[in-house]
Structure 1
Amino acid sequence: MKPAGSSVDCLPAKLVRDSVSALSPALMNIFNISLSTGVFLKVFKDAVVWPILKKPGLDPSTYENFRPISKVLFLSKVLDKIVHGQISAHMNNNLLLDVFQSAFRPNHSTESALIRVLNDILVASDSGSMVLLLQLDISAAFDTVDHQILLNRLGSWVTGVAHKWFHSYLSNHTISVQIGDCASSSLPLPWRAPQGSVLGPLLFSIYLLPLGNILNQHGLSYHIYADDCQLYVEMDEKNAGSKLAACMADVKGWLAFIFLKLNEKKSEFIVFDPHNHHGSHPVCDLLTLYPKQCVTSLGVKLDAGLTMAPQINSVVRSCFYQLRRLTHLRQILKRRHLESVIHAFITSRLDYANALLIGVPDSALNRLQVVQSAAARFLTGTHRRSHITPVLVHLHWLPVIFRVQFKLLTFVFKALNDLAPSYLSALLTPYVPTRTLRSADLLLLHMPRMRLKSQGERAFVHAAPKLWNSLPIGVRQAPSLAVFKSRLKTHFYTLAFGQ
């Protein structure tokens, strides 16, 4: 079990929650004094690190196999969250954050980032272009943040007592390491983004803000999620090679200036080729890396042919492994609890980034359906030769193909109602007929034409309007996200099971 809080916390989360009515006045006074004087309490700056193996079975004698889990006082996180809400709202309301930075922002996620990246690649491939995707790995990015550079950057938008508070927040942090009952002495931490804090990730996004400007100056498409940066370029584009080389030189120089380093050994690239050429390309020759046939982007495996087969294979393998692990729990847990466990370990894997699977062959999706059916049989004790449809009906589980469409359409509704990133909303255009028709009031979307079913028709810009326009008007006109999901599930339930 991973530790849930700091071992030195005299007011842990449970105690605060149980006594919140009595403690609220005192805590509010402490937080207000901190914010009004620009002083972050010293006791809030002490972090305890618990080293956790990255994966079971790794050699514990190798330091690189451990992930440091930083724990700070619960009240420190509460104050962090208060400030995070204010600074985040300020940055978002004034459009100060990079449009293509999806980490730690309201309505943004790894899935929204992946949808946009894959959309751009599929559209380019549909036009016949080869696309190079380069994933940059920044060494120990969070651990080498220079506080003075960060404070200077914050100074562009935060002044006075607020800036003084951030200076206090970043200064004089200490860290100790605890393994079991043994703890080291505390040491000063003169740099890095505060780990274990709520504010740390947002501050790191601010620290990396100029990176997007550099990539924009060279005309490259990109997406950033925390310290994961991927940039992509159409290789048939004029001067693509020189643009990429110049961009990489500027990125390396800027990273060195802010005390970060590009790890070229862990950086990798892949070429998506609609024509399946196997020869080298001049653009590839400019990179000191070998092209991969499959890369992992934000937890999703992308292959050079964009078949999504490696991703599906990985999900199937992982889900069946988890099902085998859960076998001994079936005799212990009540059914409702077992279903919750199955959703946590199986359904979550089936659903993660499944909007990317729109348009893949039914034979590929059937492999995921086998997993869902196995989970349903496991939960209900149904024999493997028994028909699975009545079981799914009883459980109210939508089949995999409808779960894929459900996820994509949820993003469409969010994008149309300012609940999704602007980079997804920009891909959707309302349908405007050339003359006044009744269809003008049906909330339809314009569907751009694509050449290839296996490429462009899978892109969000095409698949989303196609699915959206096929929905009943009552579903499209849902007044809220909750109502939309309810009506959409009912609609798909009827299509899937005829009930």
Structure 2
Amino acid sequence: MVLKGLLWVWTPHPHQYAYRSMRTTTMQLAHLIHEVEHNRNHYFQVSLPKKSGIGNQLHYRPHRTLLVLVDFSKAFDSIDHRVLSRLLANIPGVNCRGWLRNFLFGRYAMTRVGRRHGDRRPMLRGVPQGSVLGPYLFSLYVHPLLNLLNSFAGVTADMYADDLSIIVKGQSREDAIPTTNMVLEKLHACSQENGLAINPSKCKAAWFTLSTHTESDYDREGKWPLVVAGCQIPVMTMGASRTTKLLGMDLDPRLTLNVAASKQCAATSQRISQPRCIAHKEAGPSPHDLRTFVIGYGASKLRYGSELIWAVATDSAKNEMQKTHATLARIVSGVPSTVDPESALLEANMPRSTSFACARGSQYLRTHAHVRWTGCGDPRLSHHLAPVSASRRYLGTSYMPS
């Protein structure tokens, strides 16, 4: 009842993807892909010397994107009740404010060892763990922070619960890093005022680009360090041995999600070995129970983010996912490995892997992609392509939700 009253007078920030109906983790990932692809379709001019060494030549380059993942230490336990009380004062409704204040204030904590009890201490920070209101109060607490970060030009900030991601558009590192350092400095100051502590050791960054030979995409001499709370953040770029992970999805520098698809197939293969040991044995489960187990335990790994992988991944990654899904079908149906994947899926009464991606992608388009995306093409092209429909834009590699 209290939560309904709160949501009646207050709406969570549109860039907060957690604790909201019709919002998922993959939607935040889809927004990241949209921002990166939108920046790639926005070109700028650069004058470079000719190969002959005589004069300069005008070139066109797409904008780059810098992603910074910020981690807060014990975010839910660091909420200052005094700051939250000031935010609640701006919410309309006397009864709703009174209910929320009664929920927060007047709480005490004590320790017990055996039959001995410690002194009562008032709880001046944090929200009750496991409560229904706790996540929404945290979303209300960081609402001004998201407003601040999204007010900077060329900067977009998203949150899923307490996981903050900052997207910065730039022509080069020399352009994007100073802007990001300024934003991180404002973030650090605002976090200290509100009692939130940034954990620099868990902060990561990624530099998304398509080129492998552009020297401005690298900082080999360390001229442009990315700093937050006095500590330097490593930036992943082309040739990096490790990838940056956002909401369980591995992000490669080109943002094709090929690495994510390969790792999901590897994780599914580990799960495949478990039901394979008990499949088609005299004392094993019935085919119906085995099918339910395989779909829920094995195929669930492949379904996570499948609509994004099928939108931007290469054909090799998609084929690998299809082969893994067909292996699950062969375990259920008991057909040999020589049977083609379509027949194995038919025998197992399992849908194709693309059907999950199409269903989830069409649901996203119906609920969120109401604004038509219009990209700025390469200025060197003398003709313009006709806009692609929403369904074709999803099924192709140019799926960029608005």
Provide the TM-score with structure 2 as the length reference. 0.77
The alignment partner of 1:196 has SS state of coil
* Aligned match for 2:104, one of 170, 174, 187: 170
Query: Which structure 2 residues correspond to residues 130-145 of structure 1 after superposition, within 5 A?
Result: 130-145=64-79
2:263 matched residue in structure 1: 314
What letter corresponds to residue 379 of structure 1 in structure 2? V
1:228-267 residue pairs with structure 2 within 5 A?
228-236=163-171, 240-267=176-203
Distance 1:450 1:298, change over 3 A: farther
Question: What's the CA shift string for 1:9-34, capped at 9, x where partnerless?
Answer: xxxxxxxxxxxxxxxxxxxxxxxxxx
Deviations 1:127-173 (A, max 9, x none): 41121101111111111111221122112114423222211111344
> Using the alignment, how far apart are the partners of 2:224 and 2:269 within structure 1?
38
Contact 1:252 1:262 in 2 (8 A): yes
CA contact 1:153–1:207 (8 Å) conserved in 2: yes
Q: RMSD between aligned alpha carbons?
A: 3.1
1:112 CA drift (Å): 1.2
Corresponding residue for 2:49? none
What is the rounded CA distance, in whole Å, between the counterparts of 2:348 and 2:5 in structure 1?
42
* CA positional deviation for 1:335: 2.6
Q: Aligned AA for 2:85?
A: L
Cross-structure match for 1:491: none
Q: Which of 201, 206, 214 is the aligned partner of 1:270?
A: 206
- Identify if the C-alpha distance between structure 1 residues 225 and 468 changes in structure 2 by more than 3 Å, giving closer, same or farther: closer
Greater fraction helix: 1
Q: CA deviation at 1:283?
A: 8.5
Question: Aligned pair 1:104/2:19, yes or no?
Answer: yes
Aligned to 1:390, the other structure's residue is in SS state helix
Matches within 5 A, 1:25-36: none
Change (3 A) 1:386 1:184: farther
**1:255 partner SS:** helix
Q: Which runs of 5+ in 1 are unaligned?
A: 1-81, 416-423, 430-446, 452-460, 471-499
Instruction: For residue 341 of structure 1, report the CA deviation from its aligned partner.
Output: 2.0
Q: Secondary structure at the match of 1:425?
A: coil
Pick from 117, 122, 133 the counterpart of residue 37 of structure 2.
Answer: 122
**Given the alignment of the two structures, is residue 343 of structure 1 paired with residue 295 of structure 2, yes or no?**
yes
Matches of 1:204 and 1:212 in 2, distance apart? 12
Distance in 2 between the 1:107 and 1:425 partners? 14
Provide the C-alpha distance between the structure 2 equivalents of 1:308 and 1:184, rounded to a whole number of angstroms.
55
Would the alpha carbon gap of residues 158 and 336 (structure 1) be closer, same or farther in structure 2, given more than 3 Å must change? farther
Give structure 2 stretches of 5+ with no counterpart: 43-61, 379-386, 397-402
SS at match of 2:337: coil
Q: Is the 8 A contact 1:255 1:261 kept in 2?
A: yes
Residue 6 of structure 2 corresponds to 87
- Going from structure 1 to structure 2, the CA distance change for 1:193 and 1:465 (only over 3 Å counts) comes to same
1:482 equivalent in structure 2: none
Q: Quote the residue 1:3 is aligned against.
A: none
Paired residues, what number?
348
Q: Which residue of 2 aligns with 1:205?
A: 139
8 A contact 2:9–2:92 mirrored in 1: no
d(CA) in 1 for partners of 2:115, 2:254:
50
> 2:41·2:376 contact (CA, 8 Å) conserved in 1?
no
* Aligned AA (2:225): D
Identify which of 210, 214, 235 aligns with 1:291: 235
- Cα offsets for 1:266-293 (capped at 9, x unmatched): 1110101121235218894343222124
Structure 1 contact 177–183 (Cα < 8 Å) conserved: no
- Equivalent-residue separation in structure 2 for 1:159 and 1:271 (angstroms): 45
Structure 2 CA distance for partners of 1:184 and 1:368, relative to 1, 3 Å = farther
Q: Secondary structure at the match of 2:201?
A: coil
Q: What one-letter code is carried by the residue in structure 2 that aligns with 1:355?
A: E
Is this contact kept in 2: 1:221–1:232, CA < 8 A? yes
TM-superposed deviation, 1:448: 5.0
Q: 1:122 to 1:165 in 2, by over 3 A?
A: same
Q: Distance in 2 between matches of 1:197 and 1:371?
A: 39
Tell me which residue corresponds to 1:466. 392
Q: 1:286 to 1:468 in 2, by over 3 A?
A: closer
Tell me how far 1:229 sits from its aligned partner.
0.8
How far did residue 450 of structure 1 move? 5.1
The whole-number CA distance in structure 1 between the counterparts of 2:297 and 2:182 is: 44
Q: Distance in 2 between matches of 1:177 and 1:385?
A: 64
* 1:280 and 2:233 aligned: no
Identity %: 20
What is the TM-score with the length of structure 1 in the denominator? Answer: 0.63
Change (3 A) 1:183 1:367: farther
Describe the superposition over 1:280-334 as per-residue Cα deviations: whole angstroms up to 9, x where unpaired.
Answer: 1889434322212421111111011223122112101111111223345545433
Residues 244/325 of structure 1: CA separation in 2 closer, same or farther (3 Å cut) = same
